[in-house]
Amino acid sequence: MSGGLLATEPDQIKGGSYEIDAPGICAGGSCTRRALRDGVGDGSRAIRDTGARKIGSSLIGKLEGPEIILDAKAFPKTFKEAPILAEQVKAGKLPAVDKRLPEPSQLFVVKPLREIGKYGGNWRRAFTGPADYENGGRIVSLDKILTFDYTGTKIIPSLARDWKVSDDGKTTTIYLRKGSKWSDGTPFTANDFMFWYQEIYLNKNINPTPFFEFQINGKDGVMKKVDDYTVAFEFPEPYPFFVSQLAGSTAIGAGFATRGGFQNFGGAYAPAHYLKQFLPKYSSEEAVTKKAKDLGFDSWVSLLKNRYSWALNNELPVMTPWKTVSPINTPTWSMERNPYFWAVDTAGNQLPYIDRITMTLAENTEVANLRAIAGEYDIQERHMGLAKLPVFLENAKKGNYTVHLDPALNGSDATIHIGNCLRRRSRDCEIPEEQGFPPRALARHRPRPAQRSVLARRGNRRIGGAGARHRSIARAPNGTRNMRRST
């Protein structure tokens, strides 16, 4: 998502002459990946002549992001929690925060880009119905085994605290965070990986086709439990690229939330203690079939698929920052913080900062855009039409929001490139034939940066957005008039 908030009058954008930086806009750790140009966020107010810069260039920030702390010596030693959770602890409904987090040396520690954030708030967004599960998935899916940093170029730990590839490249071993727990407080261990592998992945009734990411040259990999917090993925041939499969948006590595949203039974782990009740092995074929029929499903596999989705099933234990409380097949898809989430900031505050995410159903994208223009959302990129940029800018002051353009490495959501090397006019086509690629048959795709409109409500606030993942959990509301209404 775009970084620091820019207060820019529409007529100034059209003239291309000036940009105005509002004071205090990056306070509270709220500027994120792409903070605006030098001078933004230092509390100053500056009006600068932008000369011959292209119209709208002042809306585009540069690539920045939070730092993930890997040195355990730098980890915080004491911990704090959101007031809403502290009340539950006081009432005896939750254990103390240090009992809900992984062991102190096993934490996922985030250094916010600007400042330590503040707890609270409700992030208001639009969604378009049950098929729009990636709307939330791109926000919550920090539950990947490994992930990439904000630049998209470096693999870093996520759900697993570390990994190792054997010298022969045939085995990738991951090390889990001791003491981490599912959102219902049940310990998260290697047993959840083995349950997925043995009872879900290898069950042909559930998963008839092997994942190609879990194969090398068509030969299947094998998952093995080393100990309660160590899992090994073994292959018959060297497969060092498997680390990237675990970090990427793949069937094996995208995480339980994303794969559950797609309902393809991926993710490499699952909450055994909860999902066993839907499998014939743990009761009988008749029992689970009856349960499915009673709930309106045609088979126990259909019921399992439904129960596997964090977006549809508000009873499903998750490892994400937020968990669904009102499912996606209702007019309001809402999520609340996971009290057992396994990440903290550098001050020891359990993440996320934001209490709640509320998505309101829009009948179509046109409705979503009109509501955004009316100022009904706190931040929204998804479903916002770039063609409406002039209208967004024209109504920014009235709607009390700011507009940003988010550079991305794609020119469209789906693109087919055909015959790019047919005439060999580009260096991209110069691929040695000895590598096994006919020179006229393959081209490396170098996508052009695209620009997408992003809306953020309340000019001095920033909370995160689609695709934010580990960035969004460390964003905080600040300086708000009504914490419950805008974040």
* pLDDT value for 456: 42
pLDDT grade for 416, boundaries at 50, 70 and 90: low
What does the pLDDT read at residue 53?
55
Are 348 and 78 contacting, i.e. CB atoms less than 8 angstroms apart?
A: yes
> Which residue type is seen at 311?
A
pLDDT on residue 386: 84
Of 353 and 480, the structure prediction assigns the larger pLDDT to 353
Q: State residue 415's pLDDT score.
A: 62
Read off the pLDDT of each residue in 128-132 and give the average, rounded to a whole number.
Answer: 95
* Confidence at 128, pLDDT banded by 50, 70, 90: very high
Instruction: Choose between 125 and 414: higher pLDDT.
Output: 125
Which residues make Cβ contacts (< 8 Å) with residue 209, sequence separation at least 6? none
Q: How confident is the model at residue 62 (pLDDT cuts 50, 70, 90)?
A: confident
Region of poorest pLDDT, from 6-20, 118-132, 177-191, 383-397? 6-20
Whether 470 contacts 158, CB under 8 Å: yes
pLDDT at position 58:
72
Higher pLDDT, 55 or 164: 164
**Per-residue pLDDT band at 374 (split at 50, 70, 90):** very high
DSSP designation for 71: -
Alpha-carbon separation of residue 87 from 91, 100, 203, 252, 344 (angstroms): 6, 15, 43, 38, 19
Alpha-carbon distance of 406 to 62, in angstroms, equals 9
Q: Average pLDDT in the 277-304 region?
A: 96
For 257-271, 300-314, 333-347, 403-417, which range has the lowest pLDDT when averaged over its residues?
403-417
- The residue with greater pLDDT, 452 or 376, is 376
46 — alpha (psi -120 to 50), left (phi > 0) or beta?
beta
Residue 301 clears pLDDT 80, i.e. is over it: yes
Q: Omega of the bond prior to 352 within 30 degrees of 0, cis?
A: yes
* Averaged pLDDT for residues 376-392: 91
pLDDT for residue 26: 26
Burial of 12 (0-12, 13-18, 19+ CB in 10 A): middle
Q: Average pLDDT, stretch 373-384? A: 92
User: Which residue, 321, 319, 342, 340, is CA-closest to 108?
Assistant: 342
The amino acid sitting at 351 is L
CB 346 within 8 A of CB 331: no
Residue 63 pLDDT more than 90?
no
Confidence grade of residue 175 (pLDDT, cut at 50, 70, 90) = very high
Rounded to 10 deg, the angle between the 285-294 and 300-307 helix axes is 70
Torsions phi, psi for 201 (to 5 deg): -65, -45
What is the SS3 assignment for 177?
coil
Domains of the chain, first to last: 143-318 (3.90.76.10)
Q: How confident is the model at residue 396 (pLDDT cuts 50, 70, 90)?
A: very high
More confident residue, 447 or 118: 118
pLDDT digits (tens, 9 = 90+) for 187-231: 999 999 999 999 999 999 999 999 999 999 999 999 999 999 999
DSSP codes joined into one string, 402-458: EEEEEEES-SSSS-----TTTT--SGGG---GGGT--TTT-----PPPEEEEEEEES
Cis peptide before 112 (omega within 30 of 0): no
The mean pLDDT of the chain is 79
pLDDT at 208 (0 to 100): 95
pLDDT digits (tens, 9 = 90+) for 10-27: 222 222 222 222 222 222
Q: In the prediction, which pLDDT does 151 show?
A: 84
For the four alpha carbons of 354, 359, 365 and 367, in that order, the dihedral sign comes to negative
